[in-house]
């Protein structure tokens, strides 16, 4: 690490300090990319010593190189965990976190608002492996107690929820889980490691789709699993078992992304709120789903547990045919249409929560929107959305005429 004379530093400062050691790299500011599969040892004795495998020490390329370790150390420290492991995608990180604690005969509690492919893991792969699951209401809080069975080993949380952005009472859920020894995993991607410390809320293992805000530029896939001390060896084992580690090039890009994480989030969070407030005033909009808006039902929990907002939120439109939503999205010029988020660019996609939810019916049964605020000028983005609504209204009038 760069020299800091033992001072206690704020996270913004740590983002530019952690994982660096210019003296070790000929004065280079950044840790270079180490491409390696084979690691050569100077002697038989050194080769044998390496077999004992120490976290953060090179052994074989799949277990990481100095580039990987620099990223892992930085993420672990910023997110408030003990150690981190870098996987090839967020999905691989989610799979690893679940595999670490679940086996045939176990029960998994997963929040109904979890990222779709996480839900699919519960319904598909883990069902085949003999793990039963129950999806629970994201607003359940301490009521989770009633759903915990003697074989419940994991409670999987995500806050705010994917697509619908409900906040979860993570401390209440963690408290209930720990009474029976179940582990709490949190998908903390929305907040990134910078805006929420899940370990302070009682979480055992945090998962990040590093592909989003950590990388921050839509050019690499990455997943991070960060663990507390107690769960470290279970996560280390599954990291080893899966062999799905991140490439050194992607770790480099992610570490570079971490250096500007606070700046990007500050700007994108602020712009996202501006867009959300503007959208809430539009007659085409029924509700904006954003926990950092004062009128949002999750606002109190967000204020209590998070230190800021990222730029991703949802929009529920007033009744509208899908064709009109399509016309709006096709009419936007600055908002790209594509899956993923967390890069520097603004995005908008249609979402269909009513097709997924199991614990309660989701209204409405037509598409909602998911908006991601990038770093562009907010006035330009608002003007683009205004044009988009013109396209929506035009298409709506056309479809009304046709049906009358
Ligand atoms: C909340 C959340 N978790 C996990 C993932 C999966 O990450 P990846 O695409 O890197 O596999 C995503 C991707 O969209 C996500 O939105």
In this structure, the number of other CB atoms found within 10 A of the CB of residue 194 comes to 24
Assess whether the C-beta atom of 89 lies below 6 angstroms from ligand 1: yes
Assess whether the C-beta atom of 188 lies below 6 angstroms from ligand 1: no
Last residue of a domain, one of 259, 282, 307: 259
Backbone angles phi, psi at 187, to 5 degrees: -80, 105
| Type and span of the H or E element at 186 | strand 183-187
In the reported structure, the alpha carbon of residue 2 is separated from the centroid of ligand 1 by a whole-number distance in angstroms of: 31
CATH of the domain at 301: 3.90.1150.10
The residues annotated with a catalytic role in the active site are: 62, 115, 187, 212
Sign of CA dihedral 320, 335, 314, 95: positive
Calpha distance 214→225 (Å, rounded): 13
Q: What pLDDT does residue 1 have?
A: 45
In the reported structure, the alpha carbon of residue 209 is separated from the centroid of ligand 1 by a whole-number distance in angstroms of: 5
Q: Is residue 371 located within the same domain as residue 395?
A: yes
Distance (Å) of CA 125 to CA 3, 98, 118, 191, 381: 46, 11, 10, 27, 41
User: What is the count of structural domains for the chain?
Assistant: 2
Q: What pLDDT does residue 341 have?
A: 98
Q: Is residue 326 located within the same domain as residue 235?
A: no
Q: Is residue 209 located within the same domain as residue 163?
A: yes
Assess whether the C-beta atom of 296 lies below 6 angstroms from ligand 1: no
Prediction pTM value: 0.97
Assess whether the C-beta atom of 342 lies below 6 angstroms from ligand 1: no
pLDDT string in tens for the chain (404-residue length): 445 666 789 999 999 999 999 999 999 999 999 999 999 999 999 999 999 989 999 999 999 999 999 999 999 999 999 999 999 999 999 999 999 999 999 999 999 999 999 999 999 999 999 999 999 999 999 999 999 999 999 999 999 999 999 999 999 999 999 999 999 999 999 999 999 999 999 999 999 999 999 999 999 999 999 999 999 999 999 999 999 999 999 999 999 999 999 999 999 999 999 999 999 999 999 999 999 999 999 999 999 999 999 999 999 999 999 999 999 999 999 999 999 999 999 999 999 999 999 998 888 888 999 999 999 999 999 999 999 999 999 999 998 888 87
Paired sense of beta strands 83-87 and 368-372, if any: unpaired
Q: What pLDDT does residue 5 have?
A: 67
Q: Residues 208, 90: contact at Cβ < 8 Å?
A: yes
* Ligand 1 atom at shortest distance from the alpha carbon of 158: 1
Domain residues for the domain of 274 are 261-403
Which residue's alpha carbon is nearest to atom 9 within ligand 1? 90
Q: Is residue 274 located within the same domain as residue 251?
A: no
* Ligand 1 atom at shortest distance from the alpha carbon of 162: 1
In a domain, 1, yes or no: no
Q: Long-range contact list for 114-123, CB < 8 A, 24+ apart?
A: 114/156, 114/158, 114/161, 114/162, 114/187, 115/158, 115/162, 115/187, 115/189, 115/209, 116/162, 116/356, 117/91, 118/94, 118/156, 118/158, 118/187, 119/356, 121/94, 121/95, 122/156
Q: What pLDDT does residue 3 have?
A: 52
In the reported structure, the alpha carbon of residue 91 is separated from the centroid of ligand 1 by a whole-number distance in angstroms of: 6
Q: Is residue 119 located within the same domain as residue 233?
A: yes
Question: In degrees to the nearest 10, what's the CA dihedral of 345, 350, 356, 360?
Answer: 100
Last residue of a domain, one of 237, 259, 281: 259
**Bridge partners of 78?**
none
Q: Is residue 252 located within the same domain as residue 272?
A: no
Backbone angles phi, psi at 365, to 5 degrees: -100, 25
Q: What pLDDT does residue 363 have?
A: 85
CATH of the domain at 162: 3.40.640.10
Last residue of a domain, one of 230, 259, 288: 259
Q: Is residue 244 located within the same domain as residue 328?
A: no
């Amino acid at each position: 690490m760069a020299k800091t004379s033992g001072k206690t530093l704020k996270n913004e400062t740590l983002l530019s300090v952690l994982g660096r050691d210019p003296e070790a790299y000929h004065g280079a500011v950044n840790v270079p990319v180490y491409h390696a599969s084979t690691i050569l040892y100077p002697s038989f004795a050194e080769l044998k010593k390496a077999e004992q495998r120490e976290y953060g020490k090179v052994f074989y390329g799949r277990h990481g190189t100095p580039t990987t370790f620099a990223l892992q150390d930085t993420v672990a420290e910023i997110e408030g965990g003990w150690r981190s492991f870098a996987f090839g995608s967020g999905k691989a990180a989610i799979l690893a976190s679940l595999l670490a604690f679940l086996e045939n005969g176990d029960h998994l509690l997963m929040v109904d608002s979890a990222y779709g492919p996480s839900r699919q893991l519960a319904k598909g792969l883990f069902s085949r492996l003999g793990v039963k699951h129950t999806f629970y209401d994201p607003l359940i809080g301490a009521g989770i107690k009633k759903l915990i069975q003697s074989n419940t080993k994991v409670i999987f949380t995500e806050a705010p929820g994917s697509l619908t952005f409900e906040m979860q009472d993570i401390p209440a859920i963690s408290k209930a889980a720990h009474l029976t020894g179940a582990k709490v995993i949190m998908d903390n991607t929305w907040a990134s490691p910078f805006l929420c410390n899940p370990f302070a809320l009682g979480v055992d293992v945090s998962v990040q789709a590093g592909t989003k805000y950590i990388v921050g530029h839509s050019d690499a896939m990455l997943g991070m699993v960060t663990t507390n001390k107690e769960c470290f060896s279970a996560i280390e084992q599954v990291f080893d078992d899966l062999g799905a580690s991140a490439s050194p090039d992607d770790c480099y890009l992610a570490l570079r992304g971490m250096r500007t994480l606070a700046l990007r989030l500050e700007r994108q969070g602020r712009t996202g709120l501006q867009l959300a407030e503007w959208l809430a005033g539009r007659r085409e909009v029924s509700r904006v789903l954003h926990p950092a808006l004062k009128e949002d039902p999750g606002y109190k929990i967000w204020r209590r547990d998070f230190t800021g907002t990222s730029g991703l939120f949802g929009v529920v439109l007033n009744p509208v045919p899908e064709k009109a939503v399509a016309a709006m999205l096709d009419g936007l010029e600055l908002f790209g249409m594509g899956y993923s988020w967390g890069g520097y660019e603004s995005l908008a996609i249609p979402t269909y929560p009513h097709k997924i939810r199991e614990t309660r019916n989701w209204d409405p049964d037509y598409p909602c929107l998911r908006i991601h605020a990038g770093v562009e000028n907010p006035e330009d983005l608002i003007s683009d959305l205004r044009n988009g609504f013109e396209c929506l209204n035009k298409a709506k009038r056309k479809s009304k005429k046709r049906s009358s």
